[in-house]
A and B are shown apart, each in its own frame.
Chain A
């Protein structure tokens, strides 16, 4: 480090500082894996296609972190709340036997309505616990997931394709979306280029979300929200209603969680119920932090960069390490170490007050 700092070429323009050391390490690791994949003569087109799908799948869930960070509520560890709303939407639309775009649309609409309501309730709770949002959010998310497990078991749904084959009561652990809206977005305008399959619809959906968020942050309300997050005293003196802005940020984040899980599920092909959403906030949190966000500040470009870096890394790590280490699954371990290490880095970096 000292050596680097003494070289003006590296430091003068703040190049390394602006990119951020963790991002350099992770990008370096990614390049290393790609080189390894080439050396091992692995199918690169397949790896890239897979990465593109994973980026599109997870993008909106990562984007859901932006509004809460912007409005000053920090990382949204209660993302499962929104995810559960999306899942309820998906389950209801499925039980009504709605397929294709209608099915996806209904699921998303229901998810949005539910997420709007629950997000608002959660935002009211957060008003009381300012400063402890992350810990409270984590456990609110956990207990919601556990509570919903009971709901899935007791849900009054009789569609035999959805309930347990034995007993006829309780939804299955995973509901297959085949014949409903499986890979609906992925196959929309799908392009094959040099052997790489580009899930255009899915990436466009993610892009649309990012664009809408970008324009929202440029509006008067968006700017007021950012001001409330970055400088509450100034915002208050300019007549911004701090609480309303925080509520709005949390609600948007929860809604994005709901839509995000549906985009994720249609690509994955299954609605995952019960304990599956328990830890879903953590990869999203890690992604945006890898993109260079802090607990106080995040941007759309950080969402995109973070998602690309993290998801590509995870997608490539599995086949590459499996080839090298003959079968041992290191990708799950790598995911745990990288994502949690990244969150730790952000938590211990201290507050940069401006």
Chain B
């Protein structure tokens, strides 16, 4: 009997494991299929696609990685990374104003963004600690709220209360920052930082098949790789262990003597700082700052990418982030072209990818809430 019992239990365990792996790889698999269908339907030039993905992996991965730490600490998906992105953009405007260029300019922007992001992150953490159990919706609304303050500063206060005299940055009326700011000074500063060693260009002919031109943004990939290492290291430190404990069960952690609220704030501060730097990396690649739009979509697209990579609101790793950026952005490139090929209307593809981004987040949130309720029921 005893033996039977053990067998039954281990069979159940086996099943659980299987369903776990199954459901976790389900989402990436679904999107991989979608990507392949899109590529085939759109008859896309693979060289173009690969080059595009190399660029986008550099551009977006850092931002997506900035979401990981709060997930570990049990705060869910940090919709507040928009606030970090704003810190980055404030720093960029300052750097552009003082015409600090190149890699130095980017480094100075990172330095300026650091204290801003720490402050913003600390404030975000304080607010989120007052809204335990609904951190995500609070973070999202906080992002909208901060966007209002951001616009107040950049549209109304600059040129009136904050003295600034720079016709290239200000609107013709002299009040408010222009809608688009050319970042020619820092454009591609990090992407091309290692050009002295190798410019990252891959181009050769494999028999009759032309390969390339693919260009790897080497500097950005290196920095992103360093961040991956940094996050793995952080998780092994005392702080990382404490975060994990808080994420597992806040109550038990507090009984064990971990300052739960402080750890949660620390996690958000880390995330906000990384988001600020991530936004800087994102914008140096794009080359222009859409002063009032660049940050808005960042939260949504980064979160959607992470979820597409198979993460959930309680479990996310570096692998999820990279796989997610790869899949989500492949779809991003492919879907307008596929929409054009299938329906003859490119907008359909464009709306489809927005639909996917929102839909993925909605489904992930539903699944998460559903799973959380199951043990309570049983």
Show the binding face of A for B, using Cβ within 8 Å. 77, 125, 128-132, 134-136, 138-140, 142-143, 145-147, 149-150, 153-154, 169-170, 282, 325, 327-328, 330, 332-337, 340-341, 343-344, 347-348, 350
Contacts and interface: CB of A to CB of B under 8 A. Distances in A.
Interface stretch (B27-35, B148-156, B237-245): B148-156
A353 to B, nearest CB: 14
Contacts of A336: 144-145, 147-148, 151
Interface string B140-166: 111011011101100110000000000
A154 B142 CA distance: 36
Interface of B: 127, 130-131, 133-134, 136-138, 140-142, 144-145, 147-149, 151-152, 155-156, 173, 175-176, 343, 345, 347-348, 351-352, 354-355, 357-359, 361-362, 365-366, 368-370, 372-373
Interface of A is mostly: helix
B142 A129 contact: no
A153 B351 contact: yes
A134 B369 CA distance: 11
B362 A140 contact: yes
Given A128-B369, A328-B176, A336-B151, A154 B348 contact: yes
B13 to A, nearest CB: 25
B349 to A, nearest CB: 9
Nearest to A125: B366
A134 B343 contact: no
Contact of A139 (B142, B173, B354, B361): B361
A333 B155 contact: yes
A282 B144 contact: yes
Contact of B138 (A282, A334, A344): A344
Contacts of A131: 133, 369, 372-373
A139 B365 contact: yes
12 contacts: A128-B366, A129-B365, A129-B369, A129-B373, A131-B369, A131-B373, A135-B140, A139-B358, A150-B348, A328-B156, A333-B152, A336-B148
Given A344-B142, A348-B138, A132 B368 contact: yes
Contact of B351 (A150, A328, A348): A150
A143 B358 contact: yes
Contact of B345 (A143, A145, A169, A335): A169
B254 to A, nearest CB: 18
A128 B370 contact: yes
